[in-house]
């Protein structure tokens, strides 16, 4: 088990980081090149003002018509994404690893808060799973890969929660937690998780087109 842990936390972790950063740069560069090659005119009306206006509205709970129409989905979506991003970055054990490896550290979450945020992520994936299985309009556009993505997102949080509280086979769960984290990190640029990379560009494009060309709001 020690050999497996050393592998997933060592060489495999480096591979995951390389795939994440390298893949992210490649996907973004490919997107910009595609636009430049096929729809270069888009750059002529891109606007910082309208881009930021759109982004700010869409990342503010209930600031858009669609967010207000689906209050439960809005609350779950914002809570889920906030906890998904904040928890791994400010988790004490993760910050300790950065301190040991690179000599840098930052503020950390209290353990009870980190636990609560972890549970929110897990419950959020359950909500999105049930939504894909029960709501006709969502079920229609759901493919098997969507369930795989939900599993990839949930796995690091489930295994991390179990490992932290040592509820079951700590060495195994800790190794699986690191492995799940590596898989999620490496998958971001190459799956639908890449929306975390592309959504700012999408909102900037939509905001600029609606604001500068159509003189209308996109929210």
pLDDT in tens, 18-29: 999 999 999 999
Q: Is the dihedral of CA 193, 103, 159, 173 positive or negative?
A: positive
Query: What is d(CA 17, CA 219) in angstroms, rounded to the nearest whole number?
Result: 35
Span 109-120, mean pLDDT? 97
Residue 48 corresponds to which tokens in the numbers above? 């910082």
pTM over 0.85: yes
Indicate whether 1 pLDDT > 80: no
φ and ψ at residue 142, rounded to 5 degrees:
-90, 135
Which of residues 219 and 72 earns the better pLDDT score? 72
35 burial level (CB within 10 Å; 0-12, 13-18, 19+): middle
Indicate whether 212 pLDDT > 90: no
Residue 180 corresponds to which tokens in the numbers above? 């799940």
* CATH numbers and ranges of domains, the chain: 2-213 (1.20.950)
Specify the DSSP class assigned to residue 141. T
């Amino acid at each position: 088990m020690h050999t497996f842990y050393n592998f997933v936390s060592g060489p495999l972790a480096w591979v995951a980081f390389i795939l994440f950063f390298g893949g992210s740069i490649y996907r973004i560069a490919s997107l910009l090149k595609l636009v430049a090659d096929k729809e270069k005119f888009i750059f002529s009306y891109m606007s910082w003002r309208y881009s930021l206006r759109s982004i700010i509205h869409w990342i503010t709970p209930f600031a858009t018509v669609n967010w207000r129409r689906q209050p439960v989905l809005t609350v779950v979506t914002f809570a889920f994404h906030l906890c998904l991003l904040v928890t791994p970055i400010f988790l004490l054990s993760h910050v300790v690893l950065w301190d040991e490896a690179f000599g840098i550290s930052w503020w950390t979450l209290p353990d009870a808060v980190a636990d609560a945020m972890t549970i929110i992520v897990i419950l959020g994936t359950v909500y999105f799973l049930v939504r894909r299985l029960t709501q006709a309009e969502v079920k229609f556009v759901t493919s098997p890969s969507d369930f795989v993505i939900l599993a990839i997102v949930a796995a690091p949080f489930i295994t991390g929660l179990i490992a932290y509280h040592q509820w079951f086979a700590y060495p195994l769960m800790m190794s699986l937690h690191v492995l799940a984290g590596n898989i999620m990190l490496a998958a971001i640029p190459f799956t639908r998780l890449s929306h975390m990379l592309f959504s700012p560009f999408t909102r900037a494009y939509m905001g600029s087109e609606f604001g500068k060309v159509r003189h209308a709001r996109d929210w």
